[in-house]
């Protein structure tokens, strides 16, 4: 590579690695979400039962969608194998 400093590839790799790391905003968001769930569970048995029911419903819907798309043969936008003539 003519005219490219020898440290540039290392800099680009380091910059890419740092860009993928979660920052303080992500940590704050996760902490606040955990506090909210903990407060909901501590609020009482009814709130905990509702939280469990909503979570179970979400999982059932995701499972049904997965089975539905698997039976239809949908690839989710990923092209399937191409048969080449010959």
pLDDT (tens digit per residue) in 36-50: 888 877 888 888 888
Does residue 26 or residue 1 have the better pLDDT? 26
Q: What is the mean pLDDT of the chain?
A: 80
pTM above 0.95, yes or no: no
pLDDT digits (tens, 9 = 90+) for 10-41: 888 888 877 778 788 878 888 888 888 888 77
Q: How many helices (H) and strands (E) does the chain have?
A: 3, 0
Q: Is-contact 47 41, C-beta < 8 A?
A: yes
Q: Is the dihedral of CA 59, 65, 69, 75 positive or negative?
A: negative
Does residue 43 or residue 81 have the better pLDDT? 43
Q: Where are the domains of the chain?
A: 45-73
């Amino acid at each position: 590579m003519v005219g490219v400093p020898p440290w540039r590839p290392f800099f680009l790799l380091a910059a890419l690695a740092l860009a993928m790391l979660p920052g303080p905003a992500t940590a704050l968001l996760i902490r606040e979400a955990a506090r909210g769930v903990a407060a909901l569970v501590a609020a009482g048995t009814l709130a905990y039962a509702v939280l469990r029911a909503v979570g179970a419903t979400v999982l059932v819907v995701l499972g049904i969608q997965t089975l539905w798309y698997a039976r239809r043969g949908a690839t989710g936008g990923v092209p399937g194998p191409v048969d080449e003539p010959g």
